[in-house]
Structure 1
Amino acid sequence: MEKPFDLEERTFLFAKDCRIYIRVLPRTISNIEDCKQLVRSSGSVGANYIEANEKLGEKDLSFRLKIARKEAKESKYWLRLLQELNPEHSSLSNPVLLEIEELRRILSAIITKTQK
Protein backbone atom coordinates (compact mmCIF):
# COMPACT_ATOMS: atom_id res chain seq x y z
CA MET A 1 0.00 0.00 0.00
CA GLU A 2 1.33 3.43 -0.96
CA LYS A 3 1.81 5.83 1.93
CA PRO A 4 0.19 9.27 1.77
CA PHE A 5 2.46 12.20 0.99
CA ASP A 6 0.56 14.39 3.47
CA LEU A 7 2.39 14.04 6.77
CA GLU A 8 -0.66 15.05 8.79
CA GLU A 9 -2.58 12.15 7.24
CA ARG A 10 0.34 9.79 7.65
CA THR A 11 0.72 10.56 11.36
CA PHE A 12 -3.04 10.11 11.76
CA LEU A 13 -2.87 6.69 10.12
CA PHE A 14 0.06 5.75 12.35
CA ALA A 15 -1.95 6.57 15.49
CA LYS A 16 -4.90 4.61 14.08
CA ASP A 17 -2.69 1.60 13.31
CA CYS A 18 -1.35 1.64 16.88
CA ARG A 19 -4.91 1.50 18.19
CA ILE A 20 -5.78 -1.37 15.86
CA TYR A 21 -2.68 -3.25 17.03
CA ILE A 22 -3.43 -2.91 20.73
CA ARG A 23 -6.97 -4.25 20.27
CA VAL A 24 -5.60 -7.76 19.68
CA LEU A 25 -3.20 -7.85 22.63
CA PRO A 26 -4.05 -9.87 25.74
CA ARG A 27 -5.34 -7.81 28.65
CA THR A 28 -2.45 -8.25 31.06
CA ILE A 29 -1.58 -5.56 33.59
CA SER A 30 1.63 -4.64 31.76
CA ASN A 31 -0.05 -4.62 28.33
CA ILE A 32 -2.82 -2.36 29.59
CA GLU A 33 -0.36 0.15 31.03
CA ASP A 34 2.01 0.04 28.06
CA CYS A 35 -0.91 0.39 25.63
CA LYS A 36 -2.10 3.51 27.46
CA GLN A 37 1.35 5.02 26.99
CA LEU A 38 1.37 4.06 23.31
CA VAL A 39 -2.06 5.60 22.74
CA ARG A 40 -0.87 8.88 24.24
CA SER A 41 2.49 9.09 22.47
CA SER A 42 1.24 7.89 19.07
CA GLY A 43 -1.52 10.50 19.03
CA SER A 44 0.89 13.20 20.14
CA VAL A 45 3.13 12.70 17.10
CA GLY A 46 0.42 13.95 14.75
CA ALA A 47 -1.08 16.48 17.14
CA ASN A 48 2.26 18.22 17.60
CA TYR A 49 3.01 18.08 13.88
CA ILE A 50 -0.33 19.80 13.20
CA GLU A 51 0.51 22.45 15.80
CA ALA A 52 3.90 22.95 14.14
CA ASN A 53 2.12 23.71 10.88
CA GLU A 54 0.20 26.47 12.66
CA LYS A 55 3.47 27.97 13.81
CA LEU A 56 3.61 31.22 15.62
CA GLY A 57 7.20 31.76 14.54
CA GLU A 58 10.36 29.86 13.71
CA LYS A 59 11.08 28.99 17.35
CA ASP A 60 7.57 27.60 17.80
CA LEU A 61 7.89 25.55 14.60
CA SER A 62 11.17 24.03 15.73
CA PHE A 63 9.85 23.38 19.25
CA ARG A 64 6.71 21.59 18.03
CA LEU A 65 8.63 19.51 15.49
CA LYS A 66 11.06 18.44 18.21
CA ILE A 67 8.17 17.43 20.46
CA ALA A 68 6.63 15.42 17.60
CA ARG A 69 9.97 13.67 17.08
CA LYS A 70 10.29 13.02 20.83
CA GLU A 71 6.81 11.46 20.83
CA ALA A 72 7.79 9.33 17.83
CA LYS A 73 10.78 8.01 19.75
CA GLU A 74 8.58 7.30 22.75
CA SER A 75 6.03 5.52 20.57
CA LYS A 76 8.78 3.34 19.18
CA TYR A 77 9.84 2.45 22.71
CA TRP A 78 6.34 1.35 23.74
CA LEU A 79 5.85 -0.55 20.49
CA ARG A 80 9.12 -2.41 20.94
CA LEU A 81 8.25 -3.30 24.50
CA LEU A 82 4.80 -4.56 23.51
CA GLN A 83 6.27 -6.49 20.60
CA GLU A 84 8.86 -8.20 22.79
CA LEU A 85 6.18 -9.25 25.27
CA ASN A 86 3.66 -10.27 22.60
CA PRO A 87 5.72 -11.86 19.81
CA GLU A 88 2.72 -13.80 18.52
CA HIS A 89 1.37 -10.48 17.15
CA SER A 90 4.55 -9.31 15.43
CA SER A 91 2.86 -9.44 12.03
CA LEU A 92 0.83 -6.43 13.22
CA SER A 93 3.58 -4.64 15.15
CA ASN A 94 6.38 -4.90 12.56
CA PRO A 95 4.80 -2.56 9.99
CA VAL A 96 3.89 -0.04 12.70
CA LEU A 97 7.46 -0.08 14.01
CA LEU A 98 8.80 0.51 10.51
CA GLU A 99 6.39 3.39 10.01
CA ILE A 100 7.33 5.18 13.23
CA GLU A 101 11.01 4.93 12.35
CA GLU A 102 10.28 6.48 8.93
CA LEU A 103 8.22 9.23 10.56
CA ARG A 104 11.03 9.92 13.04
CA ARG A 105 13.52 10.25 10.18
CA ILE A 106 11.20 12.55 8.25
CA LEU A 107 10.70 14.77 11.30
CA SER A 108 14.47 14.85 11.89
CA ALA A 109 15.04 15.89 8.29
CA ILE A 110 12.46 18.68 8.58
CA ILE A 111 14.05 19.90 11.82
CA THR A 112 17.50 19.93 10.22
CA LYS A 113 16.20 21.76 7.14
CA THR A 114 14.32 24.42 9.16
CA GLN A 115 17.36 25.13 11.35
CA LYS A 116 19.50 26.15 8.36
Structure 2
Amino acid sequence: MKSDLPDRTFAFAERIVRLCLALEGENTVAATLVKQLLRSGTSIGANVEEAQASESKRDFVHKYSIAAKEARETHYWLRLLAKTEVILPSRLEPLTAEANELVAILTSICKKNR
Protein backbone atom coordinates (compact mmCIF):
# COMPACT_ATOMS: atom_id res chain seq x y z
CA MET A 1 0.00 0.00 0.00
CA LYS A 2 1.38 3.35 -1.05
CA SER A 3 1.79 5.99 1.64
CA ASP A 4 0.01 9.31 1.25
CA LEU A 5 2.66 10.99 3.41
CA PRO A 6 4.65 12.48 0.50
CA ASP A 7 1.47 14.11 -0.85
CA ARG A 8 0.38 15.20 2.61
CA THR A 9 3.72 16.82 3.43
CA PHE A 10 3.78 18.49 0.00
CA ALA A 11 0.32 19.95 0.62
CA PHE A 12 1.46 21.14 4.04
CA ALA A 13 4.49 22.85 2.48
CA GLU A 14 2.23 24.51 -0.06
CA ARG A 15 0.05 25.91 2.73
CA ILE A 16 3.16 27.18 4.54
CA VAL A 17 4.40 28.91 1.37
CA ARG A 18 1.01 30.56 0.81
CA LEU A 19 0.92 31.78 4.42
CA CYS A 20 4.44 33.19 4.12
CA LEU A 21 3.60 34.92 0.84
CA ALA A 22 0.59 36.56 2.51
CA LEU A 23 2.90 37.95 5.19
CA GLU A 24 5.47 39.47 2.84
CA GLY A 25 6.20 43.08 3.65
CA GLU A 26 5.40 42.76 7.36
CA ASN A 27 7.69 44.17 10.03
CA THR A 28 11.24 42.94 10.64
CA VAL A 29 10.31 40.58 13.48
CA ALA A 30 7.53 38.96 11.47
CA ALA A 31 9.80 38.65 8.43
CA THR A 32 12.46 36.85 10.47
CA LEU A 33 9.94 34.44 11.98
CA VAL A 34 8.36 33.80 8.59
CA LYS A 35 11.76 32.89 7.11
CA GLN A 36 12.26 30.33 9.86
CA LEU A 37 8.76 28.93 9.31
CA LEU A 38 9.25 28.74 5.55
CA ARG A 39 12.54 26.89 5.90
CA SER A 40 11.34 24.29 8.39
CA GLY A 41 7.82 23.91 6.99
CA THR A 42 9.03 23.08 3.49
CA SER A 43 11.89 20.88 4.69
CA ILE A 44 9.50 18.26 6.10
CA GLY A 45 8.27 17.17 2.69
CA ALA A 46 11.71 17.43 1.11
CA ASN A 47 13.08 14.94 3.63
CA VAL A 48 10.11 12.61 3.19
CA GLU A 49 10.73 12.69 -0.57
CA GLU A 50 14.41 11.91 -0.05
CA ALA A 51 13.45 8.98 2.16
CA GLN A 52 11.44 7.47 -0.70
CA ALA A 53 14.75 6.89 -2.50
CA SER A 54 16.73 5.88 0.57
CA GLU A 55 19.63 3.50 0.07
CA SER A 56 19.06 1.53 3.27
CA LYS A 57 16.73 1.19 6.22
CA ARG A 58 19.16 3.28 8.26
CA ASP A 59 19.11 6.03 5.61
CA PHE A 60 15.30 5.88 5.54
CA VAL A 61 15.07 6.30 9.32
CA HIS A 62 17.63 9.12 9.21
CA LYS A 63 15.61 11.09 6.62
CA TYR A 64 12.38 10.55 8.51
CA SER A 65 14.07 11.60 11.75
CA ILE A 66 15.12 14.87 10.12
CA ALA A 67 11.56 15.35 8.81
CA ALA A 68 10.22 14.78 12.34
CA LYS A 69 12.63 17.37 13.76
CA GLU A 70 11.60 19.87 11.10
CA ALA A 71 7.93 19.21 11.87
CA ARG A 72 8.61 19.91 15.55
CA GLU A 73 10.39 23.13 14.65
CA THR A 74 7.55 24.17 12.36
CA HIS A 75 5.07 23.50 15.14
CA TYR A 76 7.17 25.75 17.40
CA TRP A 77 7.21 28.66 14.91
CA LEU A 78 3.47 28.37 14.33
CA ARG A 79 2.81 28.43 18.08
CA LEU A 80 5.09 31.45 18.50
CA LEU A 81 3.44 33.36 15.65
CA ALA A 82 0.04 32.67 17.20
CA LYS A 83 1.04 33.46 20.78
CA THR A 84 2.62 36.79 19.81
CA GLU A 85 -0.37 37.52 17.55
CA VAL A 86 1.81 38.19 14.53
CA ILE A 87 -0.90 36.13 12.84
CA LEU A 88 -4.35 35.56 14.27
CA PRO A 89 -4.23 32.33 16.29
CA SER A 90 -7.46 31.11 14.69
CA ARG A 91 -5.83 31.37 11.26
CA LEU A 92 -2.96 29.15 12.41
CA GLU A 93 -4.96 26.47 14.24
CA PRO A 94 -5.35 24.15 11.21
CA LEU A 95 -1.66 24.38 10.31
CA THR A 96 -0.59 23.90 13.92
CA ALA A 97 -2.80 20.82 14.22
CA GLU A 98 -1.41 19.40 10.99
CA ALA A 99 2.18 20.02 12.13
CA ASN A 100 1.38 18.21 15.36
CA GLU A 101 -0.09 15.26 13.46
CA LEU A 102 2.94 15.11 11.18
CA VAL A 103 5.23 14.98 14.23
CA ALA A 104 3.24 12.03 15.57
CA ILE A 105 3.21 10.17 12.25
CA LEU A 106 6.90 10.71 11.50
CA THR A 107 7.95 9.79 15.03
CA SER A 108 5.88 6.61 14.85
CA ILE A 109 7.42 5.63 11.51
CA CYS A 110 10.91 6.18 12.92
CA LYS A 111 10.20 4.07 16.00
CA LYS A 112 8.69 1.21 13.96
CA ASN A 113 11.68 1.13 11.59
CA ARG A 114 14.46 1.27 14.16
Pair in the same fold by TM > 0.5: yes
Residue identity matched to 1:97: T
Shift of 1:91: 2.3
Which runs of structure 2 are paired with 1:26-65 in the superposition (5 Å)? 27-65=26-64
Counterpart residue number, 1:71: 70
| CA drift at 1:23 | 3.8
Q: Deviations over 1:20-63 (max 9, x none)?
A: 22344470111100100110101100000111111111111111
1:18 equivalent in structure 2:
16
Deviations 1:40-94 (A, max 9, x none): 1011000001111111111111110100000001111111111112266222200
SS of 1:56's partner is coil
TM-score, normalised by the number of residues in structure 2: 0.89
Other structure's SS at 2:54 match: coil
Give the superposed CA RMSD. 1.6
Q: Which runs of 5+ in 2 are unaligned?
A: none
- Count of residues paired in the alignment: 111
Measured in 1, the distance between the counterparts of 2:83 and 2:71 equals 18
Which stretches in structure 1 are left out of the alignment for 5+ residues? none
Separation in 1, partners of 2:7, 2:75: 19
1:104 aligns with: 103
Among the aligned pairs, what percent are the same residue?
37
In the TM superposition, what is the alpha-carbon distance from 1:11 to its structure 2 partner?
A: 0.5
> How does the TM-score come out when normalised to structure 1?
0.87
Structure 1 residue runs of 4 or more that deviate by more than 4 Å after TM superposition: none
**1:84-99 alignment runs, 5 A limit:** 84-86=83-85, 89-99=88-98
Letter in 1 for 2:56: G
Aligned 8 A contact 1:49 1:65 in 2: yes
